[in-house]
Amino acid sequence: MKKDKITTFRRILAMIGIVLIVLMYLATLIFAFIDPTQSKSWLAASIFTTFFVAFVLYAFNLLLKMIQDKNSKEEQDIK
């Protein structure tokens, strides 16, 4: 993949992550008003989701960086 495509893909992943986290907290707020007895469970799920989404995005970022480094080394070897 070219550097521009990887950068664009990283930005898209970051935006998706932000949207997922915001939607999860919004759902927590809505469900807390609907059923206050389960609000602690929804908050715990939101906190877990926040860390999980961040972890997955970080893992994708590392994989993209490894792919980018591998491609740049191969291009240098060809030259």
Q: Which of 49, 41, 60, 59 is nearest to 23 (CA)?
A: 49
Whether 74 has a pLDDT exceeding 90, the answer reads no
Q: Is residue 40 part of a domain?
A: yes
In the numeric block, which tokens belong to residue 49? 């989701």
- Triad 10, 16, 20: Cα angle to 5°: 145
**20-33 residue pLDDT tens:** 999 999 998 998 89
Q: Is residue 7 part of a domain?
A: yes
Q: Is residue 42 part of a domain?
A: yes
Mean pLDDT for 55-75 is 83
**Structural domain boundaries enclosing 36:** 3-74
Q: Is residue 58 part of a domain?
A: yes
The residue among 67 and 24 whose pLDDT is bigger is 24
Counting the structural domains of the chain, the total is 1
Q: Is residue 37 part of a domain?
A: yes
Q: Is residue 9 part of a domain?
A: yes
Q: Is residue 14 part of a domain?
A: yes
Q: Is residue 79 part of a domain?
A: no
